[in-house]
Structure 1
Amino acid sequence: MGPTPRVVSVYAVAVAGVTLPSPLYVTYQDRWDLPSSAVAGLYALYPVGVLLVLALAGSWSDDLGRRRVVILGLTASLLSATAMAGATGVAMVAAGRLLTGIASGCVVSAAGALLVELAPWDRRRHASVTATTTNQLGLGAGALVSGVVTQFAPTPERLVFALHAVALLGALALTTGIPETVPRTGRPRLRLRRFALPHQRRGVFLGLSLAAFSAFALCGLLAALAPDLVRSELDTDSPLVAGAAICLVFATSAVSQYGWRRVNDPSALRWGLWLLVASLGIINVAVAQGLLPVFLIGIAVGGVAVGGVFMSTAALVQASTPDLARGAVSATYLSITFAGLIVPVVMTGFLADTLSQVQAIEVFSISMALSALLAGRLSRTAP
């Protein structure tokens, strides 16, 4: 196996751990009598871990080298799988989720850079799309595998993570055949990364960031609360269906990016935002009426929207930022993007506790649709 397939395999195995717990959240709810807000909070610890890495250790792959940081991330993921497999209460699940975020923050940044740097110059744009696609497919595979195991195997809350631990050990073995693309330049230090807004066209930048925020919010909502929605509002008590629903949003996002590449970035952003608004409306109607097939259609439309929005906003932020400020501005963009996995998801969980799940989804759908429309207006002059 060549270096690039090794990196792709390692990348996919690592990020699969992010969505492995999703079909199990209803099991945790039943066992420990958790409200929706607690489940949303457990999910949100993952992006918190990513943001910690981004803010404090974002330059480690430049200092240590890409391969070493990938190994560090895989080790953190192995610790997470161990904690989740042995969890006897909410605290251990919470610790595992935070470790998952730290692991993902290390692997996504370093493995993505590896894929680009291992590619020939004329294939680097394709390598960048491969990195994004691998990330999305890994997330989808994690939810689907977990759904299958939870549906058909005994003690899935342990078996799922034991299987992932074995896969992670295999991924660690694969790293021995991955060359280092960046020489070690110093000792890693925890230091607060510089964040910045662009000096010009800040409204456009905020619009692009808000668009990505809204798209990620949909992914976060489904990964955190879809299993409970499928069971309580769509009358389908099946972890496999819940895992497949989560897989669908990430799979359609990944596949659609190869189609979005044929569309210029401003058009992809505009159409992606309209599709996002449409998907939110479809999902809202499906949950209110208890229509599982319509719910899945809404998820598929949302996945296509997420693919277009994320690919176009990332490219437009890079294109509109001067070289000297690109690192700090990109860090701000990613921080706002990952906040979409935290704030709307946790707020929806609390609303589900105080109102009802149907009303919470309605508020979420309206809020994110308005957010997407505002993002489109702010970013309409993007290059």
Structure 2
Amino acid sequence: MTTAEETRTGGMLAVRPAAVRKSGGPFRLRPTAAFAGTALAFVAVALAVGAPSPLFVLYEQEWGFQPWLLTVAFAIYAVTLLITLLIAGSLSDHIGRRPVLIGALALQVVAMLVFLFAPDIGWIIGARSIQGVATGAAMSTFTAALVELAPEKQKKLGATIGSTAPVGGIAIGAFLTGLAVQFVPQPTTLVFITLALLFAAGILVIVASPETVVRRPGAVRSLIPRLLIPAAARREFIGALPLFIATWMLAGLFIGLSPSILHGIFHLDSGLLNGAIVAVPPAVGAVAGLLLTRAVARTTVVWSMAAILVGVAVAAVGIGAAVLPLLFVGATVAGGGFGAGFSGMLRILAPLAPNDQRAELFAGIFLVSYLAYGLPALVAGELIGIIGLLPTALGYSAAIAAASVVALIVQALKPRR
């Protein structure tokens, strides 16, 4: 066996290239260290997703632009990410994980520098566009690499970390930025220089990590925009669509609209509160996803949809009655459902794709997820100017509840395997 060996671990077929099994020299990380370093680099990508949200209010106060431009700055990230996923989501299946990840992290450094030196909202929108491209290239590739680098007897750990790292990173990024806004004289400088340094360190980790994919032809053809789910995973993927919509619409509500809700409905402009309300759902979600790794995945996703339904109802009551504690309670309950549901669904789907099609599968998952994350928030931004903030927020909450009910029914009817 000179190029790869096949093993079946936990019901998952894994192709282990020789590079993964050997250290490869003094500057090559062993698989366990590479796994940990890659996971941290993935968290850094998610940190950068959540970090700008508490800063948007500062930008609005400093530059005096129209509030709807905040929605544009939020949505352009999702749009560019989606386009990149369609074009380059499966590229690493052909040329390897390392080249794609190194390029994506380098683009993240560029985006952070544009954020740092931005003189107006146009530059912020540009930075978010670059960030969307970089994150779109990295998202499915990081998740696939984590599954492949995970220890042989803990393959599900790779899928779990792949699903919780983006969620937990968003929470940490938003909360730490909120703290910086509240207590640091120059929060933008601290936030974006720190992130740029983290991405530079991530590049070094990936350079020193082993490759997990054997190069194969078709790289140029893979750039043709398409959504192709591996045959063995299609039935589960279709059944998971309502779940992806419910979970990521929830993320869009709290990451995209919660600063406007705090300002417009609760009349609060605290950077700390802005960071906290953005951070609570993904933080609780990350913890729930990690704690429930050993639980039956199907049972987990059913109960997670019930949690989202209850949580979003409580949050809607808090918004309608302007009771801030209820909003936070609802965000906590729904956030647990978000993390447990998304993580559980990835544990079901990940074993259904072989290594050379795994990035393609995750590209499809994140494509649907980020459509649900960005598109409704963009529509909501338009509706705020037409029907007002409160009706828009309540309508958004009702749409999440409806999607979670459909997802609960679909998953409850599937066998608990």
Tell me what 1:128 maps to: 159
Equivalents in 2 of 1:172, 1:325: separation in Å?
Answer: 24
User: After superposition, where does 1:280-299 map in structure 2 within 5 Å?
Assistant: 280-299=312-331
- The yes-or-no answer on 1:228 pairing with 2:252 is no
Shift of 1:334: 3.3
Q: 1:220 to 1:264 in 2, by over 3 A?
A: same
Equivalents in 2 of 1:177, 1:143: separation in Å?
Answer: 29
Give the gaps of 5 or more residues in structure 1.
none
Indicate if the aligned counterparts of 2:89 and 2:141 stay in contact, CA closer than 8 A. Answer: no
User: After superposition, where does 1:264-303 map in structure 2 within 5 Å?
Assistant: 264-303=296-335
Indicate if the aligned counterparts of 2:159 and 2:347 stay in contact, CA closer than 8 A. Answer: no
- The yes-or-no answer on 1:113 pairing with 2:147 is no
Tell me what 2:387 maps to: 355
TM-score by length of structure 2 reads: 0.82
Shift of 1:79: 0.9
- The yes-or-no answer on 1:162 pairing with 2:162 is no
Give the gaps of 5 or more residues in structure 2.
1-28
Shift of 1:330: 5.7
Tell me what 2:407 maps to: 375
Mean Cα deviation higher: 273-282 or 257-266:
257-266
Tell me what 1:216 maps to: 248
Tell me what 2:273 maps to: 241
Indicate if the aligned counterparts of 1:208 and 1:317 stay in contact, CA closer than 8 A. Answer: no
Q: 1:111 to 1:374 in 2, by over 3 A?
A: closer
Amino acid at match of 1:346: L
Tell me what 2:377 maps to: 345
- The yes-or-no answer on 1:48 pairing with 2:79 is yes
Indicate if the aligned counterparts of 1:23 and 1:146 stay in contact, CA closer than 8 A. Answer: yes
Q: 1:23 to 1:67 in 2, by over 3 A?
A: same
- The yes-or-no answer on 1:61 pairing with 2:92 is yes
Indicate if the aligned counterparts of 1:36 and 1:353 stay in contact, CA closer than 8 A. Answer: no
- The yes-or-no answer on 1:314 pairing with 2:346 is yes
Mean Cα deviation higher: 139-148 or 223-232:
223-232
Equivalents in 2 of 1:32, 1:63: separation in Å?
Answer: 45
Equivalents in 2 of 1:156, 1:357: separation in Å?
Answer: 28
Tell me what 1:73 maps to: 104
SS at match of 1:88: coil
Shift of 1:59: 2.3
Tell me what 1:256 maps to: 288
Shift of 1:264: 2.4
Q: Deviations over 1:267-316 (max 9, x none)?
A: 22221111111111111111222222221111111111101221233344
Equivalents in 1 of 2:287, 2:103: separation in Å?
Answer: 29
Shift of 1:107: 2.4
Mean Cα deviation higher: 233-242 or 261-270:
261-270
Q: 1:153 to 1:213 in 2, by over 3 A?
A: same
Q: 1:322 to 1:380 in 2, by over 3 A?
A: farther
Mean Cα deviation higher: 88-97 or 171-180:
171-180
Shift of 1:156: 2.6
Q: 1:34 to 1:265 in 2, by over 3 A?
A: farther
Shift of 1:331: 4.6
Mean Cα deviation higher: 114-123 or 80-89:
114-123
Q: Deviations over 1:44-99 (max 9, x none)?
A: 22222222222111222123321221111111101111111111222211111111
Shift of 1:39: 1.7
Indicate if the aligned counterparts of 2:89 and 2:359 stay in contact, CA closer than 8 A. Answer: no
Shift of 1:206: 4.2
Mean Cα deviation higher: 197-206 or 255-264:
197-206
Equivalents in 1 of 2:69, 2:152: separation in Å?
Answer: 46
Aligned-residue Cα RMSD (Å) equals 2.9
- The yes-or-no answer on 1:82 pairing with 2:113 is yes
Tell me what 2:15 maps to: none
Shift of 1:259: 3.4
Amino acid at match of 1:192: I
SS at match of 1:180: coil
- The yes-or-no answer on 1:336 pairing with 2:368 is yes
- The yes-or-no answer on 1:12 pairing with 2:43 is yes
Equivalents in 2 of 1:65, 1:320: separation in Å?
Answer: 20
Equivalents in 1 of 2:364, 2:100: separation in Å?
Answer: 22
Aligned length: 383
Indicate if the aligned counterparts of 2:91 and 2:223 stay in contact, CA closer than 8 A. Answer: no
Shift of 1:320: 7.7
Tell me what 1:305 maps to: 337
Equivalents in 1 of 2:368, 2:199: separation in Å?
Answer: 30
Tell me what 1:141 maps to: 172
Mean Cα deviation higher: 289-298 or 13-22:
289-298
Indicate if the aligned counterparts of 1:316 and 1:382 stay in contact, CA closer than 8 A. Answer: no
Q: Percent identity?
A: 24
Amino acid at match of 1:109: S
